[in-house]
Structure 1
Amino acid sequence: MATIHLAILDDYADVAPKHFKHIPNLQLDSFPDTLDPSTPAGLEALAKRLEPYPIVSCMRERTAFPAELIQKLPNLKLLLSSGNRNAALDLEALKERGVPVTGTKGDSPSKPSGEFDAPPPPGYSAVNQHAWALLLSLCGRIPQDDRKLKTDAGAWQNGLGVSLGGKTLGLVGLGKLGTAMAKVGVLGFGMKVVAWSENLTQEKADDAARGSGLETGTFKAVSKEELFKTADVVSLHLVLSGRSKGVVGARELGWMKRSGLLLNTSRGGLIDEEALIEALKEGGIKGVALDVFWQEPIPKESPWRSVDSWAKSEVVLSPHMGYVNEGTMNRWYQEQAEELERWLKGEELQNRMA
């Protein structure tokens, strides 16, 4: 049997190979450095990299596959993605080419291997967990104090933390993730919750509260301006679209309290980056915690790489880790390998995206 070549893209933590290595006659090539096809040079570099491969494994929304790239990959026969959707893929172009695209469910395997943690149980949000980890790190000055204690022999209590008890949590978006954030705020910290999105009504907010086991009226639907002016913490939970891009700009940042905190674990494009940087340079808000950025991975020359040198506000950053946990990542690659085996045997694929 001829050797089959598989390109593994953007596997930053080198999780994938062990899940594919048992497949006979499969040659694995990993490319952990992400190439951006949004520029002509990036498009050509990525096309040159992938042109020889009939099978490509990609991680959701890391490397984009626009139509222009797909046209330059005549040998592509199967694209293995992760999650149940990937906005970075031009699925119509892939359909036209007849390239099947598979996703993953992230459910627990029927026969756990014991080699890695199981994925989070159904209904549990790892993104919500990470959102609170970021917010609590910002409020407790944990990254700053950890760094100080490890690098300065005389460092001790160099700043003041922020208490969340009884504060107002403002949610831009009250879908599944926004509601999960709200529930923890209410039950864990006694916070008041206000929420806004273009289509949010009080009736929908009440439905979200009851669905969380909370009383009607616990979540209050307000105007966008009221949310930004009254919230002590503003947390973003919208899907990025043409309508939501830049939903937080200079005006909204100007509405926030100077003691306000901003949290984004959704998508970087929801915030006007230049406006946020200006607000942080001026100390216009107390702090920000970001897990998502306008370009990912962050370029070496990005201002976020040197934020401590220019920001007057507190800043806590993480590299889009909301969904990146041991159980989920391993299970996703395990599912990709299972789909590849089905494809090689001519069997029906179980989680088709296209």
Structure 2
Amino acid sequence: MASHQTASLAILDDYVGIAAKHFSHTEGLKVDSFPDTLNPAKPDEFETLVKRLELYQIISSMRERTPFPAELQKRLPNLKLLLNSSVRNASIDMNCASERGIIVAGTKGDRPKDKKALEDLDELPPPAGHSTVIQLAWAQLLALCSRIPQDDHALKTDPTAWQSALMIPIAGKTLGILGLGKLGIGMAKVGALAFGMEVIAWSENLTQEKADAAAESAGLSKGAFKAVSKEELFRGSDVLSVHYVLSPRSRGIVGTEEFSCMKKSAILSNTSRGPLIDEGALIEALKAGRIKGASLDVFWEEPLPKDSPWRSTNSWAKSEVVLSPHMGYANEGTMNRWYQEQAENVERWMNGEEVLNLMS
């Protein structure tokens, strides 16, 4: 912990320009914003990123958009406080930060209790127990099953366009949940209540007892969620939704073997993390039309490179594909609240006070 009369802050990846206003009231703080993302895994961008950040004591980061591996942290001699959005970030080398005395602080994104903090937010974050990740996941799935992207484009570009294909009904079908945590439970609840779907789920330590507790926590009856084996999950799902935590152990948890088990009519949804799925295996499955479709909000490299195959799925995929640019968390209320929390931590640090939401 340190006490500073003045400090410099670099805001990274604020592509909609909402962060600076939250830091503007902090006396003695010099703020610069860099909305264009640089990837430290690319040598030329790494050096540019070092030169951009080497003078700053404080850095505001947005999720995993700009990773902070040890190699980068070691080239930033002035960095004392690294602000993260949310309470988890696998792209920050926490061991290196600890060794170098860099404080890493997260944000909760919850609705503030302080009256002034409430007044400063034009839009509130979702209430506790709700997430726009679930909203986005269902929006993608319904768009894919209802042919909304294709028909919207056709009606706007072809003066003769009208009905050209058929929707996919999902009511009463089987929804598979890979990872029955908070988001998985939220996804399953909507499927069960809104569409009468049968819910099956798997994760490494999931038991039927835990599945029953999850169902009851969602206001559903015991037995509404059925714990199954991993193979049963992939063989039985009509819609398979991924909500697993990314770790070295779970990387590539969905691969060629899993795709070979899936129904040809099945749809895969991933709003969790790209590397949970073997990218090559998914591309091959879509090229071959091995599954009906995929809706993806997360990717293996973000932002997507200009030459990414995902930018040209219309030219190679036999399956339906609906994409969005990692928008699940990017809602106005949560994003502003994150920056509000970051600004509070900057003031605390500059005043020599305890920083909130320390990460380890």
What range is the shorter-chain TM-score in?
A: over 0.9
State the TM-score, normalized to the length of structure 1.
0.95
**Partner residue of 1:62?**
65
Supply the AA of the counterpart residue of 2:174.
Answer: T
Supply the AA of the counterpart residue of 2:92.
Answer: L
Identity %: 65
Equivalent position SS for 1:262: strand
Q: Distance in 2 between matches of 1:351 and 1:228?
A: 37
C-alpha displacement of 1:115: 4.9
Which of 323, 326, 329 pairs up with 1:320? 326
C-alpha displacement of 1:240: 0.9
**Partner residue of 1:199?**
205
Supply the AA of the counterpart residue of 2:331.
Answer: N
Supply the AA of the counterpart residue of 1:162.
Answer: I
1:14 correspondence with 2:17: yes
1:180 correspondence with 2:180: no
Supply the AA of the counterpart residue of 1:227.
Answer: L
- Structure 2 portions without partners, runs of 5+: none
Q: Distance in 2 between matches of 1:137 and 1:45?
A: 39
**Contact map agreement 2:106 2:357 (CA 8 A) in 1:** yes
Supply the AA of the counterpart residue of 1:134.
Answer: Q
1:47 correspondence with 2:77: no
Aligned pairs for 1:16-165 (under 5 A) are 16-109=19-112, 110-111=114-115, 112-113=118-119, 115-165=121-171
Larger CA deviation: 68-77 vs 205-214 = 205-214
Q: Distance in 2 between matches of 1:69 and 1:58?
A: 14
Q: Distance in 2 between matches of 1:98 and 1:264?
A: 36
1:300 correspondence with 2:306: yes
Q: Distance in 1 between matches of 2:302 and 2:50?
A: 19
Q: Distance in 1 between matches of 2:108 and 2:231?
A: 38
How many residues align? The count is 354
Supply the AA of the counterpart residue of 1:312.
Answer: K
Distance 1:115 1:241, change over 3 A: closer
- 1:235-287 Cα offsets, whole Å, 9 max, x none, are 11111112211111112112111111000011101111111111111111111
Supply the AA of the counterpart residue of 1:24.
Answer: E
C-alpha displacement of 1:288: 0.4
**Partner residue of 2:279?**
273
C-alpha displacement of 1:2: 7.8
Supply the AA of the counterpart residue of 2:57.
Answer: P
C-alpha displacement of 1:114: 5.5
- 1:178-211 Cα offsets, whole Å, 9 max, x none, are 1111111111100001111222222221121122
C-alpha displacement of 1:39: 4.0
Q: Distance in 1 between matches of 2:322 and 2:255?
A: 19
Equivalent position SS for 2:311: helix
C-alpha displacement of 1:313: 0.9
Question: What is the root-mean-square deviation of aligned Cα atoms in Å?
Answer: 1.7
Larger CA deviation: 39-48 vs 103-112 = 39-48
- 1:39-79 Cα offsets, whole Å, 9 max, x none, are 44443332222111111110121111111111111111211
- Structure 1 portions without partners, runs of 5+: none
Q: Distance in 2 between matches of 1:49 and 1:268?
A: 28
Q: Distance in 2 between matches of 1:3 and 1:227?
A: 55
Larger CA deviation: 32-41 vs 293-302 = 32-41
Larger CA deviation: 218-227 vs 38-47 = 38-47
Distance 1:331 1:156, change over 3 A: same
**Contact map agreement 2:176 2:237 (CA 8 A) in 1:** yes
Q: Distance in 2 between matches of 1:331 and 1:248?
A: 34
Q: Distance in 2 between matches of 1:247 and 1:78?
A: 34
